[in-house]
Amino acid sequence: MLYKPRDIVAGDFYWLEETERYIFLGVADATGHGVPGAFVSIVCANALHKAVLEEGLESPAEILWRVREVVVSQLTQAGEKVKDGMDIGLIRFAKGDRSQAVFAGANRPLWIVSAEGLLEVAGTRQPIGYVEEPKPFEEVELMLGSRAPAMVYAFTDGIVDQMGGPKGRKLLPKGMREWLLSLWNQPVAEQAESLKALFETWRGEHHQIDDVTVVGVRIG
């Protein structure tokens, strides 16, 4: 895990919860930075807890839809539709066999890296928050057993949007792909240190422009 808030508190957060059958992992980017972002992240995290632990939802797509309903309700003020909320990648792992996984995303993808290369699983192009015409979130069953050993990565956009390098440009997904393809087979603790070093070298003297969160899970 690489977790680097831009300020003392952050809009980014990671969420891990388990039920009798499953382990849920969410990597989220709430609207804003600092204290305002942290407030929205608390609302969003509480909505995840409500959907999974209180209401017993198990489908990642259904969880995201319910969380969207709760977040919109709680952030609506005097009839005004507030567009705060979050982008999130949500993964459900089966207990005892992490290769049995299901993913749903709200404006965030999931990357699977193995000896076969990098596979991107796209999320639904819709945030957790108010939109004029909301649509159901899509979920994808992940066939991870055939790719093992592999790494599953979920991350917020702060790392790919970071300015740096010799030309002072954004890292972009292309740069992130190159980093993960170069380090995915390292032990996970070493990966975290390698990714942190790569990020700091890339950033150099540039100001960190956003919260940065990357979470990786080893499969097989």
Rg of the chain (C-alpha set) = 17
Phi, psi of 167 (to 5 degrees): -105, 5
Percentage of the residues of the chain whose pLDDT score is greater than 70? 99
Q: What pLDDT is stored for residue 70 in this prediction?
A: 95
Q: Is the pLDDT of residue 78 over 60?
A: no
State the average pLDDT for the chain. Answer: 95
Q: What pLDDT is stored for residue 36 in this prediction?
A: 80
Please tell me the distance from the alpha carbon of residue 203 to that of residue 159, in angstroms, as a whole number: 10
* pLDDT tier, 79 (very low <50, low <70, confident <90, very high otherwise): low
Phi, psi of 70 (to 5 degrees): -65, -45
Please tell me the distance from the alpha carbon of residue 23 to that of residue 101, in angstroms, as a whole number: 9
Pinpoint the alpha helices (H) of the chain: 34-49, 60-75, 172-183, 188-203
Contacts of 211 (CB under 8 A, 6+ apart): 4, 5, 6, 10, 11, 12, 29, 33, 37, 156, 158
Q: What angle do CA 141, 83, 162 make, to 5 degrees?
A: 70
Q: What pLDDT is stored for residue 81 in this prediction?
A: 72
Q: Is the pLDDT of residue 34 over 80?
A: no
Sheet harboring 139-143: ordered strands across?
Answer: 12-18, 22-30, 86-94, 97-106, 139-143
Q: Which helix (H) or strand (E) holds 164?
A: strand 163-164
Q: What pLDDT is stored for residue 9 in this prediction?
A: 86
The number of residues in the chain equals 220
Q: What letter represents residue 220's amino acid? A: G
pLDDT tens digits for range 106-149: 999 999 999 999 999 999 999 999 999 999 999 999 989 999 99
Total number of domains in the chain: 1
Instruction: Please give the model's pTM, rounded to 2 decimal places.
Output: 0.95
Task: Give me the mean pLDDT over the 38-57 stretch.
Answer: 96
Please tell me the distance from the alpha carbon of residue 63 to that of residue 98, in angstroms, as a whole number: 19
CATH number of the CATH domain containing 44: 3.60.40.10
Full domain range(s) for residue 67: 2-219
pLDDT tens digits for range 83-114: 889 999 999 999 989 899 999 999 999 999 99
